[in-house]
């Protein structure tokens, strides 16, 4: 998957994004664009970068998402279970949003479990993380927003 060109964005392994990010892998793709695991060349820090396609409706959603992410910055990511957002930049007509790189999404965790589902012991910490995140989002008066879905990520596999 890492070597294919994703959604005509021209993103492949070893692509350079902006002036300082090197693509290491494509970790997700969908109708909006792709998410790439990247390395910031000046600090050697691994990050996740969401590359939004340059279609008008997708760019509009990306701008709305950035407005919400700016509001979420006031929350402590360690206590709120909100993924840390590092910022955004434009490159070749696309919007790139940078986030902390996490171990795994809830989707991929569930996929690993195959069809057996989750035990109550596995489900409780996930629900606790989700409830904590939603309470913090609600505390800063973000209640409803169209076009932007919150992504569920595990803050730590060791919590499961």
Q: Which residues are annotated as a binding site for ATP?
A: 50
- Of 133, 122, 127, the closest CA to residue 160 belongs to 122
80 CB-near residues (< 8 Å, 6+ apart): 132, 133, 136, 137
Give just the sign of the alpha carbon dihedral 133, 134, 135, 141. positive
Token pair belonging to 17: 């994004």
Bridge partners (DSSP) of residue 17 are 21
Q: Residues annotated as binding site? A: 50
């Amino acid at each position: 998957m890492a070597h294919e060109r994703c959604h005509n964005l021209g993103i492949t392994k070893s692509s350079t994004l902006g002036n300082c990010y090197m693509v290491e892998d494509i970790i997700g793709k969908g109708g909006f664009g792709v998410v790439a695991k990247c390395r910031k060349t000046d600090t050697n820090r691994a990050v996740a970068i969401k590359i939004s396609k340059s279609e008008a409706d997708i760019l509009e959603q990306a701008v709305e998402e950035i407005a919400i992410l700016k509001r979420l910055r006031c929350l402590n990511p360690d206590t709120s279970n909100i993924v840390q957002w590092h910022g955004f930049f434009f490159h070749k007509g696309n919007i790139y949003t940078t986030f902390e790189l996490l171990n795994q999404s809830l989707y991929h965790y569930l996929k690993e479990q195959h069809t057996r589902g989750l035990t109550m012991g596995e489900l409780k910490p996930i629900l606790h993380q989700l409830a904590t995140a939603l309470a913090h989002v609600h505390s800063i008066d973000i209640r409803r927003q169209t076009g932007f879905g919150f992504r569920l990520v595990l803050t730590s596999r060791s919590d499961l």
